Structure 1
Amino acid sequence: MILRRIIGKEILQAIRNRQVLLFGLVVAALLLAASAVGYVSFDRQRAQMARAQQERRAEWLGQGEKHPHIATHFGTFVFKPKTGLSFFDYGLEAYTGTSVYLEAHFQHEFMFRPAQDHSALIRFGELSGALVLQVLLPLLIIFLCFGAFTQEKESGTLRLALSQGVSRRQLAWGKVLAYYSIVLALLVPTLTVALGGAFWQAGLPWTGDLARRLALLAAGYAGYFFGFVCLGVLVSAWARSSRNALLALLTVWIGFVIILPKTTAALGDNLHPLPAMQAYQQGISRDVDHGLPGDTTKAGRSARLVRATLRQYRADSVQQLPLNVEWVTAQAGEDYLDRVQTLHRDSLRQTLERQNRLSSYASFVDPFLALRNLSMALTGTDLYASLDFQRQAGAYRLGLIRTLHADAAKNSKYGQFFEYHPGQSLWASVPDFSYRLPAVGPALRPYGLEIGALLLWVLGLPLALHLSVHRFPL
């Protein structure tokens, strides 16, 4: 009964505070606006990518009669489709590229990075629903909670409440539950309208994986806000004045959302620098031409394969072989190129992981980093989703080239090139590219530290409040 009265009193007092109410309405309006803008951008880009994919597929099927190896150089584009939740959290999609041109002998750079068309201000983040919840809503919580105890200390009502038998813990938890109820009352209808409207307009299919992603997103953000409410009440309980409490909480907020993220990113880049693009490409070319450690040169590998093929078919010359060995060696070269690229890509991925590991460790003192990384993972807009798209695109490229080279080896004669020119039936035997987003379990696997850090935030702050609040100064 006492706890219920405390909750009711705090909610009524917060509603009467016009500044807090106005700030809450502004945050809700920003959240709706960010979701609407994000959906419009998502819908436009999704339609553009789908149309571009159809056009490239039509070009591939309609390229006419030509030698299969010429078709491998004609190539095609593949596009990373927009994930269903990317309108809420843009993640790294502005930086990682959304399409790539596939052809023989080369692994082209991923293109169409929206960040290239923006000013340097994009580094501070684009306005999205995730940004509003991660950055602006904690500010609302700070303004809601900073005077939880200090205002009652300054007015003298705190001693009066305690003299009537109300415990400090009852006061603290009554205030926490009241403020958290206000936050949820603001967010639940707003997010229901924003997300529900977007899903209805987009006609996105409801799947078990999507439901799990939404449930985990809701749990992560709910825990994040609960920790901030507990922090605000805890600081207010120990502060001597409302001014001191507000300054302390604002300092913490600046450290969480500005200083620590920028510092960890810069430190990671300095400690584990990425190779220059030119050096990276030169390393791949060198390993292809001269061979990986323990391997011979490109010419030596081709000669060895020809000798092995002759022995396999017990032939004295390449003209006696039942297949065109030119395209067997050409495909072997593509397989070796894929092997070299995989090794260099793995080395690059390991460097990126070492850079990101710093922010993972820092998330134990900064819940913003933990939630930001987990939010990107659950919406399919993080680094690992981009790397998975690159992996699937590379596998598709290799399969496309292997199909065409196998046909050329089987149906053309050694030394002939333009004499063999199949048509659309061969091009149609190569299926269209279809990217599949990893399930939620594998998507979260690299983020064990962030999950632990967020759990520590959710459990540690309430525990600290419960254990220390009975000793705060009056």
Structure 2
Amino acid sequence: MAFSLLVKHELRLLWREPGTKVLMGVMLLLLLISTWSGAVYFTEKQQQHEDATTMARALWEQQGDKNPHSAAHYGTHAFLPVTLLAVFDPGTQPFTGVSLFLEAHRQNFAVYSPVEDRSSLSRFGQLTPTFIFTFLFPLFIIFLGYRSVIAERENGMLRLLLSQGVRMKHILTGKAAALWILVSGFFLLFALIGLIVLLVSGSEATYFLRYALMMAGWLLYFGIFIHLSVWVSAKAGSQAQALVLLLGFWVLSTLFVPRLIAAAADQVHPVPDTVSFQQAVQRQLSEGIDGHNPLSEHTRAFEDSVLAAHGVTNPADLPFNLGGLMLQVSEEFEKEVFDYHMARISLIHEQQLNLFKLSAIVSPAALVRLFSMGMAGTDMAAFNHFRDQAEAFRIELMRELNEDLMIYAVGDRAQGYTAGVELFSQNITFEYEPPRAVEWITKYLTHGLLLLLWSGLSFGLLLTASRTTEV
């Protein structure tokens, strides 16, 4: 019997199963609902992002006449950009804050995460395409494939096929191919809907590439369960045993291992609490120039060095405002301190992530989630990229304000100097620049290759079953 006939025969058997159409209908309905709700959420958040950005800029420019350093403490906000691919995989965005308050002398943590407005129950199982792909699609594949070989062994069809000269290898790969066609055809129908969403939204070319890689990653993930379902069906002693073994692997790989490794990562690499973090920062800040305390040891030493360099003894004789210079020097020193401690936090997160990656050895679900979030630009690396740019903007904004104070608050204007809309309207505006395509492709190439390896190993396991399967 030709291989193509085996595949067609298996497809007919799968399609005749009443449960196949029911499961596909339920899956399609859930995917459409999740995509529609995600698109609505994206539209609302995008509008909120635009409104908040416009309002923050207007408040900054219209804050009234005041000392530039008072304006620095008045501060402004940077808002986390909304990505359309978050419709398919929101990643960590529901848990990270969406707004950074930017002010003088300090780096603030993001605030107002979306999950703060939800109940604890809704946080557990948010209905998104990623949730469906990670947890429900494998179950769909398992229920389609767990009977594929064992049922034919029990009814004698397997022995009959082998007696007619059909090789076991072709039987197993034919059943896997039929599952591949059914699952990928159904999945690509959804992928086409997502592609239409991207086209209608007028997304940039890089989004299409990210989306294509994300969909390819999910197909590899589904392939792992396809191969394992047929392999277990060939090796199990009964249909019940095959189902139990496959469901056990599903529980282990999608639920147990990722949560166990995440909990272990928190214990092995704990993140300092807020109080400890602030205390460590304040200790180091006390060792440098304080732009608000002219009597501190470091501030006096800096002032003496500046006066000596310009050959004067009175700050009023300097051609610039010494206070503005000290504020800027203090800002740069404080940035170094905050950068150091924030880098330590980022290192701990990276160590936790590296430990979590170990779960990919027995959990393709953990691996595909990391890859999918990376492609969607919704993981912690993407958030840190935004945070770093917001911090660079904060420092540049403080520099503009302090330089205005240095240049214009001199002589008779030094006392009670104020600036107004003519300065604030010319200050730089925060514009987020996403990472280049080559940066994130390089970063997540290993994840994609590991998914490919997982799929290849599971297929190799299926091929070995052709030599050891009992009839």
Q: Match of 1:352? A: 349
Deviation string, structure 1 residues 274-306 (Cα, Å, up to 9, x no partner): 1111111121111101359xxxx9933322322
Q: Match of 2:43? A: 43
Q: Match of 1:324? A: 321
Q: Match of 1:206? A: 204
Q: Is the CA contact 2:145–2:179 (under 8 Å) kept in the aligned structure 1?
A: yes
Letter in 2 for 1:267: A
Return 5+ residue gaps in structure 2 as ranges.
Answer: none
Q: Match of 2:24? A: 24
Q: Match of 1:372? A: 369
d(CA) in 2 for partners of 1:283, 1:5? 70
| Deviation of 1:31 (Å) | 0.8
Q: Does 1:419 align with 2:423?
A: no
d(CA) in 2 for partners of 1:341, 1:392? 15
SS in 1 for 2:165: coil
| Deviation of 1:449 (Å) | 5.2
Of 226, 251, 254, which aligns to 1:254? 251
| Deviation of 1:430 (Å) | 1.6
Letter in 2 for 1:270: Q
Letter in 1 for 2:33: A
d(CA) in 2 for partners of 1:448, 1:299? 51
SS in 1 for 2:384: helix
Higher mean C-alpha displacement, 371-380 vs 420-429 = 420-429
Q: Match of 1:175? A: 175
Q: Is the CA contact 1:38–1:87 (under 8 Å) kept in the aligned structure 2?
A: yes
SS in 1 for 2:100: strand
- Residues 301 and 447 of structure 1, relative CA distance in 2, 3 Å threshold: farther
Q: Is the CA contact 1:256–1:366 (under 8 Å) kept in the aligned structure 2?
A: yes
- Residues 468 and 366 of structure 1, relative CA distance in 2, 3 Å threshold: same
Q: Match of 2:195? A: 196
SS in 2 for 1:286: helix
| Deviation of 1:381 (Å) | 0.7
Alignment of 1:8-407 (within 5 A): 8-193=8-193, 195-201=194-200, 203-207=201-205, 209-291=206-288, 299-407=296-404
Deviation string, structure 1 residues 301-333 (Cα, Å, up to 9, x no partner): 322322332233222321111100111111111
| Deviation of 1:45 (Å) | 0.8
| Deviation of 1:219 (Å) | 1.6
| Deviation of 1:357 (Å) | 1.2
SS in 1 for 2:86: coil
Q: Does 1:430 align with 2:427?
A: yes
- Residues 415 and 357 of structure 1, relative CA distance in 2, 3 Å threshold: farther
SS in 1 for 2:435: coil
- Residues 415 and 103 of structure 1, relative CA distance in 2, 3 Å threshold: farther
Deviation string, structure 1 residues 17-59 (Cα, Å, up to 9, x no partner): 0112211111111111111111111110110111011011111
Q: Is the CA contact 2:106–2:338 (under 8 Å) kept in the aligned structure 1?
A: no
Q: Is the CA contact 1:35–1:129 (under 8 Å) kept in the aligned structure 2?
A: yes
d(CA) in 2 for partners of 1:291, 1:355? 32
Q: Is the CA contact 1:168–1:470 (under 8 Å) kept in the aligned structure 2?
A: yes
d(CA) in 2 for partners of 1:441, 1:127? 31
d(CA) in 1 for partners of 2:71, 2:224? 58
Deviation string, structure 1 residues 162-199 (Cα, Å, up to 9, x no partner): 00000000011111111100011211122212x13433
**TM-score, normalised by the number of residues in structure 1:** 0.94
d(CA) in 1 for partners of 2:197, 2:415? 53
d(CA) in 2 for partners of 1:121, 1:416? 60
SS in 1 for 2:77: strand
Q: Is the CA contact 1:3–1:174 (under 8 Å) kept in the aligned structure 2?
A: yes
Q: Is the CA contact 1:291–1:298 (under 8 Å) kept in the aligned structure 2?
A: no
- Residues 298 and 283 of structure 1, relative CA distance in 2, 3 Å threshold: farther
Q: Is the CA contact 1:31–1:132 (under 8 Å) kept in the aligned structure 2?
A: yes
The alignment yields a C-alpha RMSD, in angstroms, of 1.9
| Deviation of 1:448 (Å) | 5.7
SS in 2 for 1:78: strand
Deviation string, structure 1 residues 412-443 (Cα, Å, up to 9, x no partner): 02796553222222112222111122134323
SS in 2 for 1:106: coil
Q: Is the CA contact 1:65–1:422 (under 8 Å) kept in the aligned structure 2?
A: yes
Identity %: 30
Letter in 2 for 1:265: A
- Residues 125 and 416 of structure 1, relative CA distance in 2, 3 Å threshold: farther
Deviation string, structure 1 residues 200-248 (Cα, Å, up to 9, x no partner): 55x23332x2222122112211111112111111111111111111111
Deviation string, structure 1 residues 259-282 (Cα, Å, up to 9, x no partner): 011101111111111111111112
Higher mean C-alpha displacement, 217-226 vs 163-172 = 217-226
d(CA) in 1 for partners of 2:209, 2:175? 31
SS in 2 for 1:65: coil
Higher mean C-alpha displacement, 243-252 vs 441-450 = 441-450
d(CA) in 2 for partners of 1:47, 1:396? 23
Q: Is the CA contact 1:331–1:401 (under 8 Å) kept in the aligned structure 2?
A: yes
Higher mean C-alpha displacement, 447-456 vs 309-318 = 447-456
Q: Does 1:450 align with 2:447?
A: yes
Letter in 1 for 2:185: A
Q: Is the CA contact 1:138–1:228 (under 8 Å) kept in the aligned structure 2?
A: yes
Return 5+ residue gaps in structure 1 as ranges.
Answer: none
| Deviation of 1:445 (Å) | 4.5
d(CA) in 2 for partners of 1:242, 1:372? 30
d(CA) in 1 for partners of 2:443, 2:197? 29
| Deviation of 1:125 (Å) | 3.7
